[in-house]
Amino acid sequence: MTGTSVRYVIVNADDFGSSEGINRGIIEAHETGIVTSASLMVNAPATEAAVELARDHQALSLGLHVNFTGEGEEIVDLRDLQAVKSGLEAQFSRFLELTGQRPTHIDSHHHIHREFNVGHLFMELGRRHGLPLRGYSDVMYVGGFYGQWEHGQSDETHINVESLVSLLRSVKPGFTEIACHPGYVTGGFVSVYNREREIELKSLTDPRAKAAIEEEDIELVNYGDYLKRAKPSKPRSSTYAGRNFQK
């Protein structure tokens, strides 16, 4: 990463494609809020709809949200390394097929890319394509904007606008990703993380969030901007901050 005192912030919305309501919330958080980037599930009920929305919002960079775990079901056996490798290649290829372009970054549902034994396969994929992998690049990952921390119990204090502003004010020089999960919970959407998504959406579109970015002289960017401005480093030890493995 280039030496600089500038603070670049990427606000990335996970689970793009998981439902029509989640898609709608992410686009709203991008259009009227501070979301700059999204991570696409390529095997979810509203994947194709998400891709169409992304085509109409070119400023929203699009990464691959590898989905091996769904909402409780096992899609890929993480104990089978060959299955994991094949699944990674299949989802990467599906992303290319759906969008016509490479993802700008890679992460995963429930952070399974950090699991013992399978992490190196994710790192190899990112290295081969020159793409940042969440928590293993020059982009500092901040996961504190999340509403469930103790045994799945909701804690709205972590996702109100005051908490978001505090996170924004605390970022260091260089590139930082703040992850989020905005959306509308509609019929048929099943997730342990549900009503918190609408609270996140409200915070992300609150004028106080944009005001904090301006006051702090933060430059709001997306992962495409990162790829243009900084040469991704080799994958390294995790840079997670405020982590939560339930996501």
Model pLDDT, residue 231: 61
The pLDDT assigned to 148 comes to: 87
Retrieve residue 145's tokens. 């904007």
- Could you give the domains of the chain? 7-229 (3.20.20.370)
* Dihedral angle over CA of 116, 117, 119, 125, nearest 10: -170
> Higher-confidence residue: 188 or 232?
188
Q: What confidence tens digit (pLDDT) does each residue in 183-222 have?
A: 999 887 888 888 999 999 999 999 999 999 999 999 999 9
Spatial distance between the Cα atoms of 170 and 193, rounded to a whole number of angstroms? 26
Helices and strands (DSSP H and E) totals, the chain: 8, 9
**Which position has the higher pLDDT, 72 or 165?**
165
Q: Kindly state the average pLDDT of the residues 27-34.
A: 98
Helix (H, G, I), strand (E, B) or coil at 154: strand
Which residues does 162 contact at the CB level (< 8 Å), separation at least 6?
A: none
Give the gyration radius of the chain's Cα atoms: 17
pLDDT at position 72 = 65
- How deeply is 72 buried, as exposed, middle or buried, from its count of CB atoms within 10 A (0-12, 13-18, 19+)? exposed
If we measure between CA atoms, which residue out of 21, 12, 6, 59 comes closest to residue 40? 12
Q: What is the pLDDT confidence band of residue 247, given thresholds at 50, 70 and 90? A: very low
**Mean pLDDT score, 149-171:** 91
Q: How far is CA 30 from the centre of its chain?
A: 13
CA 225, CA 240: separation in Å to the nearest integer? Answer: 21
| Residue pair 241/143 in contact by the 8 Å Cβ criterion | yes
pLDDT at 2: 46
- Alpha-carbon 46 to chain mean position: 17
